[in-house]
Chain A
Amino acid sequence: MFAACGSDNAADSANQQVTFEPTATSSLATAMPEEAAEGEAPAETDEDSQPDEAVTENYPTAIVSLSPTATEMLFAVGAGSQVIAVDDFSYYPPEAPVVEGLSGWNPNVESIASFEPDLVVLSDSGVQEELELLGIEVFVAPAAVDLDDVYTQMSALGELTGNERTAGDAVLSMQAAIGEIIAGIEMSSEPLTYFHELDDTLYSVTSSTFIGQIYAMTGLKNIADPADEDGAAWGYPQLSEEFILQADPDLIFYADAQCCAQSLSTISARPGWSELSAVRNGNIFEMDSDISSRWGPRLVDFLETVSDAVATVNAR
């Protein structure tokens, strides 16, 4: 991961640090392309500023995103100012123009078209054909399978919106941040096991999902993997309670605090769970359900939470 950082784009990422944090920095990055290019050879300047100038001409300026993850990506790659409307679950970053009632789950072609968008980003191809019939360009960014998919989607969105370079930087800094976190993890010889709880009916994820892959990067071993070896549940099986008890995971991560009012105390108080080592040692960690389910730039935060948890457990 660090190797990628040392490539020819290193100067860029140094100038525009932390572009994956989609706050004011993103718009800054697009607004001041000259400044970013300052430290480079003059010959490159013309070429590099080309896509940014073209934003006003050929690139979409009225983007509608119906996928919360795509919204996060668009802002991270510096296309935030080109986004005019996002679905009602795209509440991150806070400046995203959320339209109440604009649904990504149950998309309505007419209400999407009423924004007169020149690009619509979806997470599945449900209304793609209908929108294209209206002459609207559509980009489908389905759930990532691994981190490479995440980077590919971010780069593609950057390219599509004329923010190729900012997108490249965002990807690089994401990779750098991830590399740094992983380098800091103390891998134990005997891998720790974990259970990731999606809801209180014990749905979980296997290592074949991007969620599971984040955990795998920290050296944790997933107890849910035997539950969906053939992939019939798309990597999201429902586990038997007694199986979890028998597997006795070292760490429990629960992403159902928001949906199902679960907490350290409710999980510890579940009948039969008191003897679990995660419960006895207090190795139960809350996960933000958005951060741990969106395959966007905030995967870095997700990884950080997991690695902090691993560090806490190792310190005990």
Chain B
Amino acid sequence: MPVKQLFAKAVAPRSPGVVTEKLRIPSLLTGVLAIAVATAAGLLIGPADIDRTNVLKELLDRVPLISVDSGLSAIQKNIIWEVRLPRVALGALVGGTLALSGASYQAVFRNPLADPYLLGAAAGAGLGATVAIVTGSGDGVGTFDLVPLLAFVGALAAVALTYLLGYSSGTQRSPAALLLAGVAVASFLTAVQTFIQQQNVETIRQVYSWILGRLNTASWDEVSLLAPYAFASAVLILVCRRILDVMRLGDFEASSLGIRPQLVRLVVICAASLGTAAAVAVSGLIAFVGIIVPHTVRLLIGASNRVVLPLSILFGAAFLVFVDLLGRSLASPAEIPIGVITAFCGAPFFVIVLRSSKRTLG
């Protein structure tokens, strides 16, 4: 396993269950490199046949104090700056945010199956988007798009509902109650969403296309919509990374060390949900990123939250940019929905990592 040997620095845990690995510079650099490679590929490759050297010249031209004639037409310049670059940027933001949210949920719930949609965010966003598509059809609310707004509100409302139900169950103030509440809320909202969708079959393709996730109409508008939330969510979660490592011991032990597990959990869940809601609002439901990226990092590099959380952002971003590149190249000039490719490529890759790694998912 050469890949593993690249990163493997066996660190003996001080006590069972506690992982003390720190984020090391080589891993960090690998993550940055992955993003750089994915970005470069995303800018250079696409269905439009544009000479790669000219693309590089065009990029160079934008560097201050350098002036190069790229020889690209106005349309080709638009393809680089208004289609490919925002698409790469949005893919990176969505991928990083979803992977980080997944990693955070897995940490606070100590459940390897947790994903960003666990607490009903996907179902809530789906309901919000469906309502927006159904009611907005034909109204023509100008250029203002209701879909991302209602998807965002729907996702946050669903998580809030899950939280209220999970923690008002009285007897069990445990993460398990919250998970079960999430399942209930998600099923309920999905039922409502399906009902509305079936009542308005003329919009079914739009709803379906939203559910499969989309980056193909990415623009800078969407990037600027998501960026503040993605940034805020990442900062909040990363601040908590050490505390989350301590909480791996269990709530009781963490409390004895002066940590308030309920509060930390609330903060992290809020931050992760905010990021997920914003990502889902602009890109629809892109599955699997939130599970496979954090686990791949755990298996290849290390399981402590100080490693998993920041690296999930980097590798999540690179992964989605790369997958999106496949989505627009494989059937070029037709598109393959990105949600299909994340699962199609992600699942086999993950199985390989799972089988070949000796590390635990702990």
Contact = CB atoms under 8 A, between A and B. Distances in A.
A241 B204 CA distance: 22
Interface stretch (A13-21, A172-180, A253-261): A253-261
Contact of A239 (B50, B78, B205, B333): B333
A259 to B, nearest CB: 5
A240 B78 CA distance: 14
A246 B82 CA distance: 13
A242 B138 contact: no
Contact of A272 (B82, B140, B203): B82
Interface stretch (A156-164, A197-205, A303-311): A197-205
Interface residues of B, number: 44
Interface in B122-168: 136-141, 143
A75 B74 CA distance: 51
A239 B217 CA distance: 10
A111 interface: no
B21 interface: no
B137 A259 contact: yes
A246 B216 contact: no
B214 interface: yes
Contacts of A275: 73-75, 78
Contacts of A243: 47-48, 332-333
B46 interface: yes
Interface in B191-223: 198, 201-206, 209, 214, 216-217, 219-221
B334 interface: yes
Given A105-B201, A246-B48, A259-B137, A233 B82 contact: no
Question: Chain A contact residues (Cβ within 8 angstroms of B): what range?
Answer: 35 or more
Interface string B65-84: 00000000111101101111
A271 interface: yes
Contact of A259 (B73, B141, B203): B203
A276 interface: yes
A103 B206 CA distance: 19
B251 interface: no
Contacts of B337: 238
Given A240-B334, A242-B47, A272-B78, A202 B217 contact: yes
A242 B335 CA distance: 11
A128 interface: no
Contact of A240 (B46, B141, B201): B46
Given A240-B216, A242-B83, A274 B78 contact: yes
A40 B235 CA distance: 87
A237 interface: yes
A242 B334 contact: no
Given A240-B328, A242-B83, A260 B335 contact: no
A201 B83 contact: no
Interface in A240-274: 240-243, 245-246, 248, 258-261, 263, 265-266, 269-274
Contacts of B334: 227-228, 233, 237-240
A240 B333 contact: yes
A239 B74 contact: no
B86 interface: yes
Nearest to A269: B143
B202 A89 contact: yes
A215 to B, nearest CB: 18
A226 B333 contact: yes
Contacts of B216: 201-202, 238, 240-241
Contact of B206 (A228, A239, A260): A260
A312 interface: no
Interface of B: 46-50, 73-76, 78-79, 81-84, 86, 136-141, 143, 198, 201-206, 209, 214, 216-217, 219-221, 328, 331-335, 337
15 contacts: A200-B217, A201-B206, A201-B214, A227-B333, A233-B334, A241-B83, A242-B46, A242-B48, A242-B84, A242-B328, A245-B75, A259-B138, A261-B140, A273-B78, A275-B73
Q: Nearest 6 A-B pairs (CB), nearest first?
A: A272-B82, A243-B333, A272-B78, A246-B48, A237-B334, A227-B334
Given A242-B48, A271-B219, 4 more contacts: A201-B214, A240-B46, A243-B332, A245-B48
